[in-house]
Amino acid sequence: MNYRVIKENNLFFLTDEKGDIVENHSYGLGLYMNDTRYLSKFNLKINGEEPILLHSDGSENYMAKILMTNPHQEKDGELVLWRESIEIERTRFINDDILYETVTAKNYYPKPVSFELSAHFDVDFKDMFIVRGFQTGEVGRRTGQEVKENQLDFLYEGADEIKRRTSVKWDVPHTRVTEEGDVFFSMTLDHAESQSITFMVAPKEGEEKNPVYLSPDEALEKLKASYIEWENSMSSVETDYLPLKRLVDRGTDDLRVLLTDIGHGRFPVAGLPWFGVPFGRDSLIAALQMLAFQPEVAKGTLLTMASLQGTKVDPWRDEQPGKIMHEIRYGELANTDQIPFTPYYGTIDATPLFLVLLTEYVKWTNDLDTFHRLEDNVRRALQWIDEYGDRDGDLFVEYHQESVKGIANQGWKDSGDSIVHRNGDYAETPIALSEVQGYVYQAKRGIASIYEKLGSGEQAEALNKQAEELKAKFEKEFWMEDQQFYAIALDQDKKQVGTITSNPGHVLFSEMLGEERSLKVSEMLTSEKMFSGFGIRTMGEGEAGFNPMSYHDGSIWPHDNSMILLGMSRLGYQNHAKKVIEGLIKAAAHFEYDRLPELFCGYEDRIGKAVKYPVACSPQAWAAGTPLVFVQGLLGIIPDSTEKKITINPFLLDGMNELTVRSMRIGEGVLSLKVTKSGSGFSTEVLENTTGCEVQGI
Check residue 111 and give left, alpha or beta (phi > 0: left; psi -120 to 50: alpha): beta
Contacts of 500 (CB under 8 A, 6+ apart): 483, 485, 524, 529, 530, 539, 540, 543
How high does pLDDT run on average in the chain?
95
Over the stretch 509-520, which tens digit does the pLDDT of each residue have?
A: 999 999 999 999
Nearest Cα neighbor of 323 from 313, 314, 310, 312 is: 310
Instruction: Please give the pLDDT value at position 260.
Output: 92
Instruction: Please give the pLDDT value at position 2.
Output: 75
% residues pLDDT > 70 (the chain)? 100
Q: What is the mean pLDDT of residues 95-111?
A: 97
In the predicted structure, residue 34 carries a pLDDT above the cut 90: yes
DSSP state of 165: E
pTM assigned to the model: 0.95
Contact indicator for 497, 487 with CB cutoff of 8 Å:
yes
Instruction: Please give the pLDDT value at position 149.
Output: 87
- The three-state secondary structure class of 272 is coil
Contact indicator for 365, 666 with CB cutoff of 8 Å:
yes
User: What is the rounded CA–CA span in Å between residue 477 and residue 459?
Assistant: 27
In the predicted structure, residue 101 carries a pLDDT above the cut 70: yes
Give ∠ CA 591-12-117 in degrees, rounded to 5.
95
User: What is the rounded CA–CA span in Å between residue 264 and residue 173?
Assistant: 43
H-helix or E-strand containing 349? Answer: none
Give ∠ CA 600-603-609 in degrees, rounded to 5.
75
- Domains of the chain in start order, with CATH, are 4-224 (2.70.98.40), 234-659 (1.50.10.10)
Contact indicator for 37, 126 with CB cutoff of 8 Å:
yes
3-class DSSP string for 292-317: CCCHHHHHHHHHHHHHCCCCCCEHHH
102-116, 303-317, 669-683: least confidently modelled range: 669-683
The upper half-sphere exposure of residue 258, i.e. CA atoms within 13 Å in the direction of its Cβ, equals 35
In the predicted structure, residue 489 carries a pLDDT above the cut 70: yes
In the predicted structure, residue 698 carries a pLDDT above the cut 80: no
- Kindly report the number of other CB atoms within 10 A of residue 229's CB atom: 10
Nearest Cα neighbor of 507 from 581, 433, 449 is: 433
User: Strand pairing partners for 146?
Assistant: 153
- The three-state secondary structure class of 38 is strand
Q: Are strands 645-647 and 694-696 parallel, antiparallel or unpaired?
A: parallel
Contact indicator for 429, 397 with CB cutoff of 8 Å:
no
Residue spans of alpha helices (H) in 163-260: 216-233, 242-257
In the predicted structure, residue 398 carries a pLDDT above the cut 80: yes
**Would you list the DSSP string of 48-91?**
TBPPEEEEEE--SSSEEEEEEEPPPEEETTEEEE-TT-EEEEEE
Over the stretch 346-361, which tens digit does the pLDDT of each residue have?
A: 999 999 999 999 999 9
Give ∠ CA 636-642-643 in degrees, rounded to 5.
70
Q: How confident is the model at residue 673 (pLDDT cuts 50, 70, 90)?
A: very high
H-helix or E-strand containing 539? Answer: none
3-class DSSP string for 90-140: EEEEEECCEEEEEEEEEECCCCCEEEEEEEEEECCCCEHHHHCCCCCCCCC
**Would you list the DSSP string of 554-615?**
S-B-HHHHHHHHHHHHHHT-HHHHHHHHHHHHHHHTTSGGG---S-B----GGGSSPPBPTT
Instruction: Please give the pLDDT value at position 1.
Output: 65
Q: What is the mean pLDDT of residues 478-503?
A: 98
Peptide bond into 71 cis (omega under 30): no
Burial-class residue 535 by CB neighbours within 10 Å (0-12, 13-18, 19+).
Answer: buried
User: Strand pairing partners for 682?
Assistant: 677
For residue 624, which amino acid is it? A
Contacts of 218 (CB under 8 A, 6+ apart): none
Instruction: Please give the pLDDT value at position 615.
Output: 81
More confident residue, 120 or 4: 120
Instruction: Please give the pLDDT value at position 335.
Output: 96
Contact indicator for 536, 565 with CB cutoff of 8 Å:
no
Instruction: Please give the pLDDT value at position 25.
Output: 83
Q: How confident is the model at residue 208 (pLDDT cuts 50, 70, 90)?
A: confident
- The three-state secondary structure class of 676 is strand
460-469, 610-619, 671-680: least confidently modelled range: 610-619
Instruction: Please give the pLDDT value at position 44.
Output: 97
Q: How confident is the model at residue 107 (pLDDT cuts 50, 70, 90)?
A: very high
DSSP state of 430: S
Contact indicator for 574, 636 with CB cutoff of 8 Å:
yes
Instruction: Please give the pLDDT value at position 129.
Output: 92
DSSP state of 212: -
Contacts of 373 (CB under 8 A, 6+ apart): 303
The torsion angle over the Cα atoms of residues 19, 108, 116 and 90, rounded to 10 degrees, is: 20
Over the stretch 540-589, which tens digit does the pLDDT of each residue have?
A: 999 999 999 999 999 999 999 999 999 999 999 999 999 999 999 999 99
